[in-house]
Copies of this chain bind each other. A is one copy, B any other.
Amino acid sequence: MTKALEPSFSRRQPADDTHGRNVCDHCDFVHYENPKIVVGSVVRHEGKILLCRRAIEPRKGYWTIPAGYLELNESPQQGAKREAMEEANADLKLGELLAVYTVERLSQVQILYRATLNSPEFSAGEESLEVQLFDWDEIPWDDIAFPTVHWILEHDRQVEAGEAKAPFENPEGQVADL
């Protein structure tokens, strides 16, 4: 079919709704926007932690854990495994739930797991510039992509050291602003 119109939405409250929504000016289609679920994992291998250097914006060139948006008809565990395969060609054995974080500014809920490698092979996927295993003291702390990556690495360290039990939520008073 040939495209005949430009997309055009107005903010209106449908009759049976409690919130304003984006409604199509041409056909009254209601575009419900839902919070998004990010799934990912802290991957350990022989005491080291796997990080990916981002090949895409936002925060291109900075280091992060393998993570991304959950797709339809997928569990968070399946999504975390898929993201590690896409970004790091890494085959994960998924462990326990490590944290549930909220980034309200982005309407994002992050569901993050602990994981290990099923085999010690990995390489940069399309969305990564490089993938590397780091000892704790070698982690490039000044070049971490997002605040929640700092949180999750510290929370994983606490669980690994037996100082705390998962899962964690946002550190007190923190909203993950950059």
Point out residues on A near B: beta carbons under 8 Å.
1, 3-8, 10, 19, 24-29, 31, 33-37, 69-77, 97, 100, 102, 104-105, 107, 109, 111, 165, 167, 169-170
Could you show 30 A-B contacts with beta carbons less than 8 Å apart? Answer: A1-B10, A1-B25, A3-B26, A4-B26, A4-B27, A6-B27, A7-B24, A7-B28, A19-B71, A24-B24, A24-B29, A26-B27, A34-B34, A34-B36, A34-B69, A34-B70, A34-B72, A35-B37, A35-B70, A35-B71, A37-B109, A70-B109, A72-B107, A73-B104, A74-B107, A97-B100, A97-B167, A100-B100, A100-B111, A165-B165
Complex CA distance for A82 and B33, rounded to whole angstroms? 18
